[in-house]
Amino acid sequence: MKLIGDRFPEVEVETTHGKIKLPDHYAGKWFVLFSHPADFTPVCTTEFVSFQKHYDEFRALGAELIGLSVDQVFSHIKWVEWIEEKLGVKIEFPIIADHTLDVSKELGLIHPNKDATTVRAVFIVDPNAIIRAIIYYPQEIGRNIPEVVRALKALKTFDEKKLAVPANWPENEIIGDRLIVPPAKSVEDAKKRLEGAEKGEHECFDWWFCHKKA
């Protein structure tokens, strides 16, 4: 089972857009792989529509989407046709048909206390093919897609600014859209934190909780 910080496994997958080699297919780009339990199920349908509705936001952040379940590719194709016909939403991103369970087992998507369908998981993978975030939901609860967008945006912000991102950012209840200065690692660093606040480099509640504008 892969963990945060691991390299995404090299696999060739069958999708609704043909065969794709991961992570090479998205070399130099972020991608978000998300699994769903089964095609033609209500909760999964609502999720796919929402992912598609937010697809432009993902692409604006330089990221691509790719879905996955253990259904056959023909089931995926028929399902996305149904979504377009009945709900007026065209699913533009590929969906992996992992009927062999190879990818699902590699990523830990089949849980032993459940049936042989995949849990609702999200893997956010960076341009270097490193898994940066993993989010799991039970089969009974649909995901909040804006949170996936927020997590991706937060990761990109951290990489650019080297500043940590608070809860509910950019609407944190304490510091709003400001970012957190990484904690001090020595007595000298702690002293510099407070000195930096006096110079206006950032603001501090204390030496261990300093923040600044993005």
DSSP 92-144: -S-EEE-TT-HHHHHHT-S-TTS-SSPPEEEEEE-TTSBEEEEEEE-TTS---
Strand order in the sheet with 209-212: 179-180, 209-212, 203-206
Could you confirm whether 44 is annotated as catalytic?
A: yes
Of the candidates 13, 22, 33, 44, the residue annotated as catalytic is 44
Q: Known catalytic residues?
A: 44
